[in-house]
Copies of this chain bind each other. A is one copy, B any other.
Amino acid sequence: MTQHSPIQAADAANAPVVAIVGATGAVGVELIRSLEMRNFPLSSLRLLASARSAGRTMDFRGAQVPVEELTEDSFAGVDIALFSAGATISRKFGPIAVAAGAQVIDNSSAFRMNDDVPLVVPEVNGDTIGNQSGIIANPNCVAAILTVALAPLHRKHTIRRLNIATYQAASGAGAAAMEELRQGTLAAIEGRDFTPEVLPHPYAFNIFSHNADVDPETGYNGEELKVIAETRRILARPDLPVGITCIRVPILRAHAMAVTVEFEEPVDEAEARALLAEGAGLRLVDDRAANHFPMPCEVSGGEDVHVGRIRRDLGDPSGRSLALFIAGDQLLKGAAQNAVQIAEALRA
């Protein structure tokens, strides 16, 4: 327990024991950072990963915390287990953690559409956190960032349909994809050959349709189908029509999206801007004179979702549609930070 003592000293005696499953992955690292940044009270932190990573240590609040191998016995005494190691691991170990008495907050897609598992973006539907099965699902990164920006409009006006085109970062495919983007780009600049191994297409100075499998029937890929289903669930609009195209662009860790929102009745552009300026977790970045709008380089590493380019959609003569551009850190609001916010809401 030597490694844990600085943490215990820093927190209240009755603070929870927190475990991170998948601690060494791209999101795992950000979970540790989010717990630090948000000063989450905990009595000890347990870092769990595959046998391959066990034995390493990782820094948390100045202490070196050992990485332990994830096993069926890992959850004894754990109060909150933050899972981010893929759907297969969540399906196997999530119920084991619940049986051991832990509250699971799961970043994978394993339980997101289960009726007894709330799918939560605290700024949007934090009220759904109660009455659950021991597992709370953290949404897909696009759905989380999107719904934070839609929530202030959705609360005041009825959305009739959505049209979305995404500009998605490498981080959604993990740390290895981020490194492949860096290495492939360096090779391209230096004129060297480079064969991608993590992602299916060249990423240097290129974009491609999201690498999730494509449904042969509808032509939509798995990422798009997740965003549609999860956005409907988070907004409690089970039949909301959503059209979406998900594209990977050579960005490291922030997602952006061009969104057209059609409402039941015309919504004034100025009113929408005022609602978004006050939105929880949102920052309005909408300076036409300076041509300054949401950008990945300005949201990366930050907690807020940026929204701007608020304007009437010239493609809808009825005047019922507005266009927006949205950006957010994929690893923070799109994953780790949202999970920690759920943990905060649980304690509140």
* Residue ranges of A at the interface with B (Cβ–Cβ < 8 Å): 161-163, 165, 167, 181-182, 185-186, 189, 200-202, 205-209, 211, 213-216, 218-221, 228, 241-245, 247, 249-252, 256, 258, 260, 269, 288-289, 291, 293, 295-297, 309-317, 321, 323, 325
Contacts and interface: CB of A to CB of B under 8 A. Distances in A.
Nearest to A212: B291
Nearest to A189: B186
Nearest to A201: B295
A219 B323 CA distance: 10
Contacts of A165: 165, 245, 258
A243 B164 CA distance: 12
Contacts of A216: 288-289
Given A206-B251, A216-B289, A314 B167 contact: no
As for how many copies of this chain the complex holds, the number is 2
Given A311-B218, A325-B209, A200 B167 contact: no
Contact of A167 (B181, B247, B309): B247
A220 B220 CA distance: 29
Contact of A205 (B162, B296, B309): B296
Contacts of A220: 311, 314
Contacts of A186: 186, 189
B317 A241 contact: yes
A122 to B, nearest CB: 27
A142 to B, nearest CB: 14
